[in-house]
Structure 1
């Protein structure tokens, strides 16, 4: 006789064992999903990779004001990640002071682009190592180290700018910004991983997108501070040489020092308790068998979760996501790193990087990038949660719309500038569109990866994914810097380099990134129309019924043949 297997039968005995994540300072439990008593023994065996320890019983069930203690810790950690991500987003502030840094140390535009690229390389290439450390030791210790790296990196840069007579070689400044970028990764990835672990899947877009919005909004906030207190027009006669860049960098350093303290005292890893076991029915041939068949319970609703990087890289949807991420993120990073140089190229002759009008326009572009970057992260995170839950719409459709918006923005700038002299408004619109589209990437891509990947492997796999923008921005930033310097007037002996003026300085780079976005949109469309990943190793009830029907048909075929004969 066939038997209906219910999830409650599986949750008896040893299958109720629980697994606990530890990070050295806080722990919580998560129930295992087993199929038999023996399977329950080994489903979450302790390993050095994920530090899972088997134990039984509930944890953190105490309440404060009617709210479980777990959620107080989650709320405190959530707020802490918001502050850390605001500090980590300072790396995107570079365009607002990059030309001042160039003039302070006598760099070319290509060298400044390489400094910006070094920060992004540190941010993204450190991802796999940071992700592995998160999976091994938990988010909190990694966030502490990352915040310390950002603090000491900016301390060194601000000291060099504030000290008269120090002239940093470009390679040394590249090294410092690589160090700062790695620290930014050490704050960003632990914050994302902690919130992915702590919140359920149906609000994961919110849990990732809202804190990351402050990562994007960080540049806007600090641009306002710079404009109000440190730019040339705000300082009047006290800083006639272009503003107090050293004081501004010192302020950033102090803000990052507070982040170190918060990571030490307020960040806790509190993974979510989820069962994920549902009832399943098994069909059997009740007419021809009198023996009871073995019953095995298994989850039917959840798809297979990727357990390793090799499996992730061979997954077709992952390959399409990687291609889309490469093409779109490189475009966004080129604008983020060089929009200040675009403003300088379009400014009238005689207006240099120390001109208050130029600095204000540069600050406006960075503020637009930052505001719409933050807006994109929130809208894409919360909106994709809603459309997925209400209408079953994949987040990949949101990704497609973002890449299309970015492609339009890249084509709009050279076309609008060529059409007339009023360049500030079309450049601002394109910058806002690029910021929005770029921000959505950082809500949608980690949320898509979290749908496919096991939570205890998310840190390393998403960390590896962050290498993708590092490679693409190296291509786009190098292209921009080389084309910009190519159109500069030749340097005369004994004179500083002349500024590149006109749309020719950057138009070809914008057209190149527009083509990249068109290809990226095609990849995003292919991802959106792919069916969602199906469970591996399990057969649905409908499939079981179909298989049983086919077997019965085969068994009755000889009888039908003899009857017809």
Structure 2
């Protein structure tokens, strides 16, 4: 595959990824959506969880489709799904409680979010699968670039909204329309330019490759970063491990692998923690805002925190890919370690973030929501930046997207549970003696007491994740593969 074509594919795949992570921006408009449609926190979380379930429950089916049919048709579907989903939410919001929502109800909004989630998975699976097949060495770095833009989605769109539409007559309505158009156009570009063309190392026998004869102008520097070391361990070569190209574990055989179930449990516990925080950051911000703070200032604080979370989500995805590649392939021999150990540090960051969140009493400052937002964003980015590579290296390239899609069922199950738990706890703390305005907005006015119990539960989930991560990292089969 020529360098220019591979670079174009990677670049447009990153644009696709930038519009596939907009589920993370839900908390920026969820409080306004709840206020306009008179939703409880539980209902708001059901809607947000529907988006998450669309992302993760569709994974096995979409992964199987892209493995068999390639990315183009999937990107066309993603274009339609994302535009239709966000446009439907915009119309439901614009009509208010007595408009289209009176007919569609919470189910209608949830179905629109579900469509957004499915479209997001379709776009990211198509982009990630194409990039994974286009790069042999430093595959983790290439994938982390695409996944980092996925994590940067909320930062990009929330800042674009603040810059261009903050003064609009209805900023939230304008934001939803921006999401509909921006995501749709990005998927259309992907359908044209994200072209599948596997690296020769994935399709040719090892003894028939003559990489040294490849013309210099067509050699990809992203693949050459490691070629100077004859002893390197890559996903495709290693003295102690079978290659990802020769391993193929899928279907029922996958369910008989203890490593898979440990990965499933670890991803479920940690993603449940992260998704609860991400989906409810706007609600937490609203509850901690000082009395007398204007709705526009609260919305600005919500957007700022969502941007901060998105930025560190992106950094987590970049760091875990590039640093783990270095630790596995290029670090001095005595300092090398398997990338699976990153799971332990990831779960530890989640645990610290939840302790800090449970103690937050203000929105701003390091004693407020900034620190837990940064840590949660970085941990969440690290989790999803490394999990796909671990699946690929442990269970093989041939059915990578299918296997990764099955693993994605874990966030759907655990994320749904943790979000529902938060909603129930929050609604339970809406005091009966609060002001009529707060009752209309279904807002808890007790500050930290509104949600502290939920963060205590997620702290326990993260602690259990640390234990599972240690067990997983200690298994010889995982250390050899990754």
* Post-superposition offset of 1:335: 0.7
Give a deviation string over 1:427-469, Cα, whole Å, max 9, x none.
1111100000000111110000110223221111111111110
Greater length-normalized contact order (CA 8 Å, ≥ 6 residues apart) = 2
Write out per-residue CA displacement over residues 312-344 of structure 1, whole angstroms, 9 at most, x where no aligned residue. Answer: 222222222111101001100001100111111
Counterpart of 1:437 (choices 365, 371, 379) is: 379
Which of 444, 456, 462 does residue 517 from structure 1 map onto?
462
Alignment of 1:404-483 (within 5 A): 404-417=348-361, 424-426=365-367, 427-483=369-425
Instruction: Give the match for residue 345 of structure 1.
Output: 287
Higher CA-based Rg: 1
Partner of 1:506: 451
| Partner-residue secondary structure (3-state), 2:291 | coil
Matches within 5 A, 1:271-286: 271-274=198-201, 277=206
Match of 1:192 among 118, 124, 128: 128
C-alpha distance in structure 2 between counterparts of 1:533 and 1:82, whole Å: 29
Report deviation, 1:499: 2.0
- How far apart are residue 302 of structure 1 and its match? 4.5
- 2:145 aligned with 1:210, yes or no? yes
TM-score, normalising length: structure 2:
0.85
1 or 2, which has the higher helix percentage?
Answer: 2
- Unaligned segments of structure 2, at least 5 residues: 209-237
> Map of 1:160-559 to 2, 5 A cutoff?
160-163=92-95, 166-168=99-101, 169-200=105-136, 202-231=137-166, 235=167, 239=169, 243-274=170-201, 277=206, 302-303=241-242, 305-351=247-293, 355-389=295-329, 390=331, 391=333, 392-417=336-361, 424-426=365-367, 427-490=369-432, 496-501=440-445, 502-532=447-477
The CA deviation string for residues 364-396 of structure 1, in whole angstroms up to 9 with x for no partner, is: 210111000000000001000000113431111
Q: What's the secondary structure of 2:290's corresponding residue?
A: coil
**Contact 2:340–2:473 (CA under 8 A) maintained in structure 1:** yes
Q: Among 101, 120, 137, which residue is 2:69 paired with? A: 137
**1:72–1:109 Cα change, 3 Å:** same
Q: Please, what TM-score do these two structures have when normalized by structure 1?
A: 0.73
Helix, strand or coil: the match of 2:196?
coil
**Mapped contact 2:341–2:473 kept (Cα < 8 A):** yes
Q: Distance in 2 between matches of 1:206 and 1:346?
A: 39
> Is the alpha carbon distance of 1:149 and 1:422 closer, same or farther for their aligned partners in structure 2, counting shifts above 3 Å?
closer
Q: Report how many aligned residue pairs link the two structures.
A: 435
8 Å contact from structure 1 (residues 278, 300) kept in 2: no
Using the TM superposition, give the Cα deviation of residue 305 of structure 1 relative to its aligned residue in structure 2, in angstroms.
1.2
* 3-state DSSP of counterpart to 2:200: coil
C-alpha separation between the residues in 2 aligned to 1:369 and 1:250?
A: 22
Contact 2:340 2:479 in 1 (8 A): no
- Separation (CA, whole Å) in 2 of partners of 1:401 and 1:439: 12
Return the alpha-carbon distance in structure 1 between the equivalents of residues 261 and 383 of structure 2.
16
Task: Give CA-to-partner distance per residue, 1:490-509, whole Å, 9 cap, x none.
Answer: 38999625520211111011
> Distance in 2 between the 1:109 and 1:531 partners?
44
